[in-house]
Amino acid sequence: MHNARGWTGAVVVPALTIAVLLLGARDGRAEDISGTVMRTVMLSENTRLVGDVTCRVTGGPCIAFGAPNIVLALNGFTMTGQADPDTACKGTPTSTDIGISTNAQSNVGIRGPGVVQRFMADGILFMGTTRGWVQNVTTTTNCMSGIRINPTSSQISVESNVSVRNGASAAGFTCGGI
Amino acid sequence: MQGNTNSLRWNETSGNGYATGPATNFGIGLLATAFNNLIEANSAIGNSNGIVVFPGAANNQIRQNVIVGNPPIQVSNSVPTGGGTDIWDQSAPGTNFFLGNMCVTAVNAQCPTIATQAVPRKPGS
């Protein structure tokens, strides 16, 4: 749908009021995201949610950073995955279905307020990232951890977040809130 | 957490984790590769375990956190085989550092200790 500065492979469902605006970096604005996402949204510049996001991505993250030195602002909205609202995955996660992945990009941030919920893996995953942060985000009912920092990430600041009702009971999935 | 040189501050974790099953769950976890991290002024309340430091985690500072009610009392009674504790240090003695945490139950850490230093608050609240 977009050029090299926009989403990579994102599919948008128009009927569900999806707005994607590519605004130039010159005015300090960036991509706006809302609605239903069918394939991974790859961020290339500062991005914000302008409405709730329903994720139908399987086999990968809903949103992934595709460039360093950028910020995703949840802007008070909610990202929702495909897990059950009451039972999540009943303890058995699907490790690829992540809400937000830093995707080995450095110096990236996720700013709340906002909610990341019901993903079948981690809500937010810092993967291969040096220098990053997440602030004021609520993660809930995700099937692995609410926020995870993987072994190849460092200098990550996790501040003032709320992480509730996350976890898995399957073998090999040691996880929880953060 | 599995990485190194990270900081967790002013986070609230509650109601996370399964009381039974093959995987240990937690509010805040420092896994085997976690090194040189700061866990400060967080709360971990009503999780399957509060803070778990796994074998291999080293040189982490865990200080001034409120870690209580892990697991909730009904879970302790209705799932007696589930275990669970506020702080569970599985690492080698002396390899991680605990200071001023408020907790009631612990394995291989100082509890019960009601520490007046533990007052997690979000900035500005």
Any idea which of A24-28, A127-131, A171-175, B57-61 has the lowest mean pLDDT? A24-28
Chain B residue numbers with beta carbons less than 8 Å from the beta carbon of A139 are none
The reply to whether A163 touches chain B by the CB within 8 Å rule is yes
DSSP-derived 3-state class of residue A76:
coil
Among candidates B6, B20, B27 on the partner chain, residue whose Cβ is nearest the Cβ of A176: B27
Chain B residue numbers with beta carbons less than 8 Å from the beta carbon of A92 are none
pLDDT at A53 over 80: yes
For tokens 């950028």, what's the residue? A70
Question: Is A177 in Cβ contact with B28 (below 8 Å)?
Answer: yes
**What would the pLDDT profile of A123-137 be if each residue is shown by its tens digit?**
999 999 999 999 999
DSSP-derived 3-state class of residue A33:
strand
Average pLDDT rounded to a whole number, residues A134-161: 97
The per-residue pLDDT for A8 is: 39
Question: Is A174 in Cβ contact with B54 (below 8 Å)?
Answer: yes
Query: Which chain B residue has its CA at the smallest distance from A149's CA?
Result: B1
Q: Does residue B120 lie in a domain region?
A: no
A6–chain B nearest CA distance, Å: 30
Among candidates A154, A156, A167 on the partner chain, residue whose Cβ is nearest the Cβ of B18: A167
A26–chain B nearest CA distance, Å: 32
Q: What order of strands is seen across the sheet that includes strand B51-53?
A: B28-30, B51-53, B87-89, B106-107
Residue of B16, B33, B37 to mutate, testing the A interface (most A Cβ within 10 Å of its Cβ): B16
- What's the pLDDT band for A71 if we cut at 50, 70, 90? very high
**What would the pLDDT profile of B87-107 be if each residue is shown by its tens digit?**
999 999 999 999 989 999 999
B39–chain A nearest CA distance, Å: 10
Chain A, residues 83-122, CB within 8 A of chain B, namely: 91
Does ipTM surpass 0.85 in this model? Answer: yes
Q: Does residue B125 lie in a domain region?
A: no
Question: Is B33 in Cβ contact with A173 (below 8 Å)?
Answer: no
The per-residue pLDDT for A14 is: 38
From residue A137, give the alpha-carbon distance in Å to each of A83, A112, A116, A157, B30.
19, 5, 7, 13, 20
Q: Per the structure block, which two tokens stand in for A124?
A: 């937010």
What is the number of domains present in chain B?
1
The reply to whether A177 touches chain B by the CB within 8 Å rule is yes
The reply to whether B85 touches chain A by the CB within 8 Å rule is no
- What's the pLDDT band for A33 if we cut at 50, 70, 90? very high
**What would the pLDDT profile of A152-166 be if each residue is shown by its tens digit?**
999 999 999 999 999
**What would the pLDDT profile of B37-88 be if each residue is shown by its tens digit?**
999 999 999 999 999 999 999 999 999 999 999 999 888 888 888 789 999 9
Give yes or no for a contact between B74 and B80, defined as CB atoms under 8 angstroms apart. no
pLDDT at B115 over 70: no
Cα A110 to chain centroid distance, Å, stands at 8
pTM tops 0.95? no
The per-residue pLDDT for A176 is: 97
Whole-number average pLDDT of chain B: 90
The per-residue pLDDT for A6 is: 40
**Residue A63: exposed, middle, or buried by beta-carbon count in 10 A (0-12, 13-18, 19+)?**
buried
Q: Does residue B52 lie in a domain region?
A: yes
Q: Does residue B115 lie in a domain region?
A: no
Give yes or no for a contact between A136 and A160, defined as CB atoms under 8 angstroms apart. yes
Residue of A130, A163, A165, A173 to mutate, testing the B interface (most B Cβ within 10 Å of its Cβ): A163
Among candidates A91, A155, A156 on the partner chain, residue whose Cβ is nearest the Cβ of B18: A91
Domain range holding B98?
A: 7-107
